[in-house]
Amino acid sequence: MSNPIPARERLALAADLPLDQGLSLYSRVAEHVAFAKVGLSLFVEHGPAAVSAFQKLGARVFLDLKLHDIPNTVELAAARAGALGVALLTVHAAGGEAMLKAAVRGAREGARTQGHAPPRVLAVTVLTSLSAEDVAAVGFSGTPEGAAQRLARLAIDAGVDGLVCSPREAEGLRRLLGSSPFLCTPGIRPAGAEKGDQARAETPAFAVRAGADLLVVGRPVHAAADPVAAARAIAEEVSSA
Ligand SMILES: O=c1ccn([C@@H]2O[C@H](COP(=O)(O)O)[C@@H](O)[C@H]2O)c(=O)[nH]1
């Protein structure tokens, strides 16, 4: 059975490009992709101007800053992000309960001061670039899936709205946490696409069937000979999964 949410609402373009190129690419694929993800490179270079530039194109902005600091610092940063009217904001689950609660509080308060809807705060569990060996080397015990589940439980209990995880972990997180957390999966690679630095990548159809709400795609669209055709093909795969 196909998912009732249109594919466009389930796709985010990772705009990890110079701003002018990111805006131009988003405009071309906007018919298939509702969210533009502003990440570290764009935000370090352009700050809030990068957010407003995508908002002017009609994009819902996913501000992927992966905040990870002491609670007071994260609360202040999340409040500034909330005030920008972003739809989604990321923090690292490994920042711990007090930091996660501070992020949610800050994001809601910042949005309220500007009359915006509060962003969904998403906690990054285990980066999709980490292999099982990397996960062991950074000191997590067990498998990436086990570590993702422990971090996810901590983050959801602290009040975040959703999680960032590999498509490989989405099904287990749905079993553990039910249908309500918003699950966002980067590490999306259409069949045959270059994996690059993504160690725990899967196809769009795999992510949808595993229970992902939002799929993040960057290089498979940027690097395609025809980015619009690539975005359309991913949207069709999402619709028919
Ligand atoms: O665990 C994570 C968390 C965030 N990301 C971000 O998603 C995109 C993926 O881009 P691709 O070019 O499709 O690999 C990128 O902006 C990352 O910062 C992630 O990949 N994994």
Q: Which atom of ligand 1 is nearest to the CA of 126?
A: 1
- State the pLDDT at residue 3: 62
Q: DSSP readout, 4-55?
A: SS-GGGGEEEE--S-HHHHHHHHHHHTTT--EEEE-HHHHHHHTHHHHHHHH
Domains, the chain, with CATH or none: 7-240 (3.20.20.70)
The widest CA-to-CA distance across the chain, in whole angstroms, is: 46
Q: Residues lining ligand 1, CB < 6 A?
A: 14, 16, 37, 39, 64, 124, 127-128, 164, 186-187, 196, 198, 216-219
Statement: residue 7 has pLDDT above 60: yes
Residue 102's Cβ-count burial label (10 Å; 0-12, 13-18, 19+) is: buried
Q: Which atom of ligand 1 is nearest to the CA of 222?
A: 12
Q: List the residue whose alpha carbon is closest to atom 13 of ligand 1.
A: 218
Q: What pairs with residue 89 in β-bridges? A: 63, 121
Regarding pTM above 0.90, the answer is yes
Distance 185 CA to ligand 1 centre (A): 9
pLDDT tens per residue across span 54-68:
999 999 999 999 999
Residue 116 counted as an annotated binding residue: no
Statement: residue 179 has pLDDT above 90: yes
Distance CA 218, CA 103 (A): 26
| Span 227-232, average pLDDT | 98
